[in-house]
Amino acid sequence: MELDNEFVKRINGLIDRVKHSMHKDINYNDIYLICSKLIALSKKCNYFSRNFFDDIQTKTSKEKSLKIALQFFKSIDREFYKKASNIINGKDDKYSLIIHEIPKGIPNTIKKEEEYQSKVGHEKGMVSVWLKGDIRDVYTIVHEIAHTFDFNNKYDKARTTCSDVLPECFEGMLDVFLTNKIPQNDLNKIELERYLKTIMYAFEYNVKYNFYDMKEKNGPLSAQMIRKVLRRYNTKPNNTFGFLYIDNQDINVPLRYVYAGIGADQFKKQFIKNSSKSVERLKKYIELIKENKSEEALKALGINLDPQLYKQSAQNFINFYEQNDIDGMER
Ligand SMILES: [Zn+2]
């Protein structure tokens, strides 16, 4: 594997930014161990791409997606519904919803991913969503609106680690709401995509953490040392979803999606068993997150970060994927 000087320089710069993004209250090594277990779920995790299912059958319009999102919130809880409908109907004090549509036929590139990223700008009070034209748009709308429910205005540990847990719990509840309303095949693909995404983020986290750890121990990385890490993960500079080429390097981004993936998966199982109790737990969780009590909050939600539980539920989906050998996803 040939690595030019430019790439070596890039990786060293990347590690400096990774280090800079680390929060003093978080034990990053613990999370590295959790991620290692998730990665072991699939040999092919370095090929996963964020949007590789483009054959979802259930198409929707913007109006229809908003309507389904509202029906969903209504089915969950009165308070959540009120907040969501205020945002959707332009009556919220703080947040306004801005809807964009992704133009069709644009190749899937890193640039595109960055540009068409749905997000919440808390400072500007903006919930910005990019729609694709299928049922996944409802997930995007629900996810981004859920971000406004537990927002706390500090870059504390709770926000750094947990800010995607609640939105992904809402996605899990949406799976349940849509069951028997849309084809099961679409739901399977959406769920599989979510599992693969979590594993992909675990992979991204570990590659970055490994570089960081190596530099901490040995000083600036040489081409040889970088090669060693890439080989360990059976990957190449250009097929790691491009994350080595994105300049904004925050180790907490993959971290928070790993937390969200594991947590929301457990939450969904509880919700299926007892929906009203689960919604009460969500409210308790929100209170605690706003007080920066992330451990207590996760406990109140009834979840822990044990990757073993996650592995059990993810394995069936991953097996399905590996048997069907969906290829051509490298980007
Ligand atoms: Zn999010």
Give the model's pLDDT for residue 168: 97
Q: Is residue 96 part of a domain?
A: no
Please indicate, yes or no, if residue 95 is contained in any of the structural domains. Answer: no
Q: What is the pLDDT of residue 193?
A: 84
Name which of 24, 210, 107, 270 is nearest 285 in CA terms.
270
Residue 200 lies in a domain: yes
User: Which of 276, 284, 305, 295 lies closest to 150, judged by CA?
Assistant: 284
Number of domains the chain contains: 1
- The answer to whether residue 173 is domain-embedded is yes
The answer as to whether 111 is a domain residue is no
The parts of the chain modelled with pLDDT lower than 70 are 42-54, 106-113, 239-241, 317, 320-331
CA of 115 to the centre of ligand 1 (A): 15
23 within some domain = yes
Give CA–CA dist 260/303, Å, rounded.
Answer: 11
Please tell me the predicted confidence (pLDDT) of residue 329: 37
pLDDT score, position 176: 98
DSSP H helical segments within 291-328, as ranges?
294-300, 307-324
Ligand 1 mean position, distance from CA 317 (Å): 22
Does residue 49 belong to any structural domain of this protein? yes
Whether 103 is in a domain gets the answer: no
Distance 59 CA to ligand 1 centre (A): 23
Q: Which domain holds residue 45?
A: 5-58+152-324
pLDDT in the model for residue 43: 62
Beta 96-101 vs 126-131: how paired, if at all? parallel
Ligand 1 center to 121 CA (angstroms): 11
Q: Provide the mean pLDDT of the chain.
A: 87
Q: How far is the CA of 257 from the centre of ligand 1 (A)?
A: 8
Distance CA(288)–CA(296), nearest Å, equals 7
The pLDDT assigned to 53 comes to: 62
Token pair of 203, please?
Answer: 């992979």
In the prediction, which pLDDT does 330 show? 34
